[in-house]
Amino acid sequence: MTSVRAWDEPGALEEAARLLRAGDVVAFPTETVYGLGALCSLESAVRRVFEVKGRPADNPLIVHVDGVPCARSLAREWTPVAQALAGAFWPGPLTLVLPRAPGLPSAISAGLDTVALRMPAHPCALALVSRAGPVAAPSANLSGRPSPTRAEHVFADLGGRIPLILDGGPCEKGLESTVLDITGEVPVILRPGHVTAADIAAVAGDVGLSPGVLGPLPEGSKAVSPGVMHRHYAPLSRVTVFLGEEEAVRASMAGEYEKLEEAGFRPLMVGIGAFLGYESRTAADMEALARDFYAILLESEKEYTHLLVQGVDGQGVGLALMNRALRAADYSVKVVDGT
Q: Give Cβ neighbours of residue 182 (< 8 Å, ≥ 6 apart).
A: 79, 81, 82, 85, 96, 97, 98, 204
Indicate the SS3 state at residue 196: coil
d(CA 156, CA 214): 29
Looking at residues 143 to 202 of the shown chain, list those that interact with ligand TXA (rule: CB under 6 A): 176-177, 179, 190-191
> Using an 8 Å Cβ cutoff, are 28 and 34 in contact?
yes
d(CA 252, CA 130): 51
Q: Which does 190 bind (CB under 5 to 8 A by kind): ligand TXA, Mg ion, none?
A: ligand TXA
Task: Kindly state whether residue 38 participates in binding ligand TXA, applying the rule CB under 6 A.
Answer: no
For ligand TXA, the closer CB: 60 or 105: 60
Task: Kindly state whether residue 116 participates in binding ligand TXA, applying the rule CB under 6 A.
Answer: yes
Instruction: Give min distance, CB of 274 to ligand TXA, in A.
Output: 30
For ligand TXA, the closer CB: 243 or 326: 326
Q: Which does 137 bind (CB under 5 to 8 A by kind): Mg ion, ligand TXA, none?
A: ligand TXA
Q: Give start and end residues of each alpha helix (H) in the chain.
A: 12-21, 43-53, 68-74, 80-89, 123-132, 151-158, 197-204, 246-262, 286-300, 317-328
Instruction: Give min distance, CB of 320 to ligand TXA, in A.
Output: 10
Interface residue with ligand TXA, options 19, 20, 27, 35 (CB under 6 A): 35
Indicate the SS3 state at residue 163: coil
- Per-residue CA distances from 76 to 136, 148, 270 (Å): 17, 32, 44
Interface residue with ligand TXA, options 19, 40, 95, 270 (CB under 6 A): 95
Q: Taking the chain, what is the end-to-end CA distance rounded to the nearest angstrom? A: 57
Instruction: Give min distance, CB of 138 to Mg ion, in A.
Output: 5
> Using an 8 Å Cβ cutoff, are 105 and 43 in contact?
yes
Instruction: Give min distance, CB of 141 to Mg ion, in A.
Output: 6
Instruction: Give min distance, CB of 178 to ligand TXA, in A.
Output: 8
Amino acid at 270: V
Contact set with Mg ion (CB under 5 A): 139
Interface residue with ligand TXA, options 41, 149, 210, 225 (CB under 6 A): 225
d(CA 39, CA 36): 10
- Per-residue CA distances from 156 to 60, 145, 223, 250 (Å): 24, 11, 30, 32
Indicate the SS3 state at residue 211: coil
Q: Which does 238 bind (CB under 5 to 8 A by kind): Mg ion, ligand TXA, none?
A: none
For ligand TXA, the closer CB: 115 or 239: 115
Task: Kindly state whether residue 118 participates in binding ligand TXA, applying the rule CB under 6 A.
Answer: yes
Interface residue with ligand TXA, options 17, 27, 78, 114 (CB under 6 A): 114
Instruction: Give min distance, CB of 220 to Mg ion, in A.
Output: 25
- Enumerate the β-bridge partners of residue 171: none
Which residues of the shown chain bind ligand TXA in the complex (CB under 6 A)? Answer: 30, 32-33, 35, 59-62, 93, 95, 97, 109, 112, 114-116, 118, 120, 137-139, 176-177, 179, 190-191, 225-227
